[in-house]
């Protein structure tokens, strides 16, 4: 059983944070499009970003900021324009955006991190940014997480948010005393989703006190087990950013090295990231269900996660799920091309409760019932909600890994064919 509980509040659930989301006129639709997350004190900052060689200005900006200074006070995010492939002027726009927010908040410019999402090749509408920032700062509050989560989305159908709370001991007291520690997060993402990372933005806040190097390690490991284990369409973006702040306002003892408190905090951080990652996969463009692939029996966890990602990302597997076709051959083929050695005579495949293959041999199963299982997943009527569960065992090794994706529908093509038009 998890050593934490879910609480309301998103990124403003941890102590010492405010957030806001407004309509600044960046999106043609008139939907909310400018978001702020603000720590009332200096916070330790960590980030994980896209591995693409074509990167948005905000990605390079944040990387440079975090290399020079491992702390931050604010995150500014605009939706509507990716500000990627926009050259030197796009870089200047990112710098100006950070400086404008810093002036409005009366904080140093190098404590502002920025993120953008939208159409590649389009610069930020700076007139709207300049007029919007004062209103954004004015709207910031300790209950503003929902507004911020709404303002960062693009093709998403739903917002994504979570907050968890645990208790860490206060070692300076003789009695067994503990204090609450909270981690909150919001995210956006629906299409152009694939490991390393995806068209996704995720912002995490925490009120624990953590050493900078340790916080970065925790965030990186959490990303590997969550955002780098989701796929919708096999495309990686120019703008992916996971930014995490830890401001120490829980007043719990500083965590400077791995130990029980650090492990508990990292586990909760990973749980927050997995929740947001699954929400992104579930909201995949045109998707009708979430697909969860669990792989066991691998030589190590890294290998297991690689096989799981390959299966979850297979267009043939995804298409079969949309067609409610329990075609286990596509699952086997995807596992086989994951570049992880295993003995095919040890391969086992399950779809929900249906055992389709065991020890490399196909088994008789009720195809109509298995198809109905997939139909029910799309309708969310069975115990696991809208999740199609695929379990694959490739041997007797200790490695385990999970990946999440979604089915591939006709609507995915329609949504992306019309994206800029």
Query: Residues with catalytic annotation?
Result: 199
Supply φ then ψ for residue 239, to 5 degrees: -120, 0
* Region of residue 297 (left: phi > 0; alpha: psi -120 to 50; beta: else): left
- Close Cβ partners of 113 (under 8 Å, ≥ 6 residues apart): 45, 47, 61, 62, 65, 66, 72, 74, 75, 76, 98, 243
Closest CA to 268 of 173, 180, 193: 180
Residues in contact with 105: Cβ distance below 8 Å, sequence separation at least 6, in sequence order: 38, 73, 74, 112, 137
Are residues 77 and 116 in contact, defined by beta-carbon separation less than 8 angstroms?
Answer: yes
Q: Are 226 and 266 in contact (CB under 8 A)?
A: no
Cα-based angle 246, 249, 253 (whole degrees, multiple of 5): 85
Residue 209 CB: number of other CB atoms within 10 A?
21
> Please, what's the largest Cα pairwise distance for the chain?
68
The answer to whether 229 and 403 have CB atoms below 8 angstroms apart is yes
Beta strands in 274-327 (DSSP E): 290-297
**Distance in angstroms (rounded) separating the CA atoms of residues 400 and 255:** 28
CB 196, CB 236: distance < 8 Å: yes
Task: Measure Cα distances from 2 to 8, 262, 373, 415 in Å.
Answer: 17, 15, 29, 38
Distance CA 171, CA 215 (A): 21
Q: By three-state DSSP, how is residue 419 classified?
A: coil
DSSP 141: B
């Amino acid at each position: 059983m998890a050593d934490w509980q879910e609480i309301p509040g998103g990124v403003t659930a941890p102590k010492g944070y405010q957030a806001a989301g407004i309509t600044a006129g960046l999106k043609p639709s008139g939907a909310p499009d400018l978001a702020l997350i603000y720590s009332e004190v200096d916070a330790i900052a960590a980030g994980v970003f896209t591995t693409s060689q074509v990167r948005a200005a905000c990605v390079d900006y944040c990387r440079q900021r975090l290399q020079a200074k491992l702390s931050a006070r604010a995150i500014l995010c605009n939706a509507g324009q990716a500000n990627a492939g926009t050259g030197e002027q796009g870089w200047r726009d990112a710098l100006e955006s950070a400086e404008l927010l810093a002036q409005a908040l009366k904080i140093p410019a190098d404590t502002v991190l920025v993120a953008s999402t939208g159409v590649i090749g389009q610069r930020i509408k700076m007139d709207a940014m300049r007029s919007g920032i004062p209103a954004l700062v004015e709207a910031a509050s300790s209950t503003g997480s929902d507004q911020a989560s709404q303002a960062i989305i693009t093709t998403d159908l739903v917002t994504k948010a979570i907050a968890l709370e645990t208790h860490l001991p206060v070692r300076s007291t003789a009695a067994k005393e503990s204090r609450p520690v909270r981690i909150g997060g919001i995210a956006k993402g629906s299409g152009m989703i694939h490991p390393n990372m995806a068209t996704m933005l995720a912002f995490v806040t925490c009120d624990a006190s953590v050493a900078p190097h340790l916080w970065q390690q925790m965030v990186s490991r959490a990303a590997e087990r969550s955002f780098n284990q989701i796929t919708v369409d096999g495309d990686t973006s120019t703008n992916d950013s996971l930014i995490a702040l830890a401001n120490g306002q829980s007043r719990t003892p500083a965590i400077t090295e791995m130990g029980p408190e650090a492990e508990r905090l990292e586990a909760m951080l990973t749980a927050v990231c997995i929740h947001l990652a699954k929400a992104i996969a579930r909201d995949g463009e045109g998707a009708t269900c979430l697909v969860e692939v669990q792989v066991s029996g691998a030589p190590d966890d890294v290998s297991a996660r690689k096989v799981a990602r390959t299966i979850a990302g297979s267009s043939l597997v995804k298409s079969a799920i949309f067609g409610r076709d329990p075609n286990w051959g596509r699952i086997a083929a995807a596992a086989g091309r994951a570049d992880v050695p295993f003995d095919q005579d040890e391969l086992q495949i399950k779809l929900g409760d249906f055992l389709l293959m065991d020890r490399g041999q196909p088994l008789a199963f009720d195809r109509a019932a298995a198809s109905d299982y997939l139909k029910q997943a799309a309708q969310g009527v069975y115990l696991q909600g809208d999740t199609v569960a695929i379990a694959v065992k490739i041997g007797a090794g200790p490695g385990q890994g999970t990946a999440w994706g979604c089915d591939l529908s006709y609507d995915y093509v329609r949504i992306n064919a019309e994206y800029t038009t």
